[in-house]
A = this chain, B = another copy of it.
Amino acid sequence: MDRLIEAIEDKQNPSVIGLDPTPAVVPAAVMEAYSIEVEENVDTDDNVEATAAAAAYFEYNRAIIDAVYDIVPAVKPQIAMYEALGPAGIDCYTMTCEYARSRGLYVIGDVKRGDIGSTAAAYAHHLSGFNGSDIWYEDAVTVNPYLGSDGIEPFMQAAQETDRDLFILVRTSNPSSSQLQELELASGEHVYEHVADLVESWGASSIGRFGYSRAGAVVGATHPEEGARLRERMPHTFFLVPGYGAQGGTAQSVAGMFDRNGSGAIVNSSRGIIGAWRSDERYSDEMEPEDALAIVAENARAAAADMRDQLRVALA
Contacts and interface: CB of A to CB of B under 8 A. Distances in A.
Given A147-B172, A173-B116, A194 B183 contact: yes
B80 A87 contact: no
Contact of A146 (B144, B175, B198): B144
Nearest to A184: B186
A126 B81 CA distance: 11
Contacts of A115: 78, 80, 112
B122 A83 contact: yes
Contacts of A78: 115, 119, 122
Contacts of A101: none
Nearest to A133: B47
Copies in the complex: 2
A130 B174 contact: no
A148 interface: yes
A136 interface: yes
Contacts of A85: 125, 130, 135
Nearest to A178: B148
A10 B293 CA distance: 54
A22 interface: yes
Given A130-B50, A191-B183, A87 B94 contact: yes
Given A49-B131, A148-B178, A151-B176, 5 more contacts: A83-B113, A83-B123, A87-B91, A146-B180, A183-B191
